[in-house]
Amino acid sequence: QVQLVESGGGLVQAGGSLRLSCVASGRALRSYAMGWFRQAPGKEREFVATISWSGDTTYYADSVKDRFSISRPDAKNTVYLQMNSLKPEDTAVYYCAIAYGPPPRESKKYDIWGLGTQVTVSS
């Protein structure tokens, strides 16, 4: 069973940057996409970004496009989320997840989730 561990969250001022990491351990059934979601207090979990197994295909939420970048090095079990020009509205718990098959935007299509890492952006 694959387990996911996120890291890299923290407190940053508006306009700053953070890079989140997510490492998958254990044996996967087959190739998988990796995605990032976030959940702010009192709000539903929302899609942020996702990347295919090969790294060739990426999708972003409109709210983070041009500010965030998802990447997946040759070590396929790791995914990064580079977050630039952070805004207070980016404050949330960020979750990493994997989906067997093509990269989806819908959270219900993800099979395994990490416990999340807190990102707080101060104004």
Mean pLDDT taken over the chain: 95
For residue range 29-69, list pLDDT tens digits in order. 789 999 999 999 999 999 999 999 999 999 999 999 999 99
Q: For residues 121 and 89, what is the distance between their CA atoms, to the nearest angstrom?
A: 8
How far CA 71 is from CA of 11, 26, 38, 40, 122, in Å, comes to 22, 20, 17, 23, 26
CB atoms within 10 A of CB 68: 21
**What's the confidence (pLDDT) of residue 95?**
98
Q: Which residue has the higher pLDDT, 116 or 73?
A: 116
For residue range 63-89, list pLDDT tens digits in order. 999 999 999 987 789 999 999 999 999
Percentage above 70 pLDDT, the chain: 99
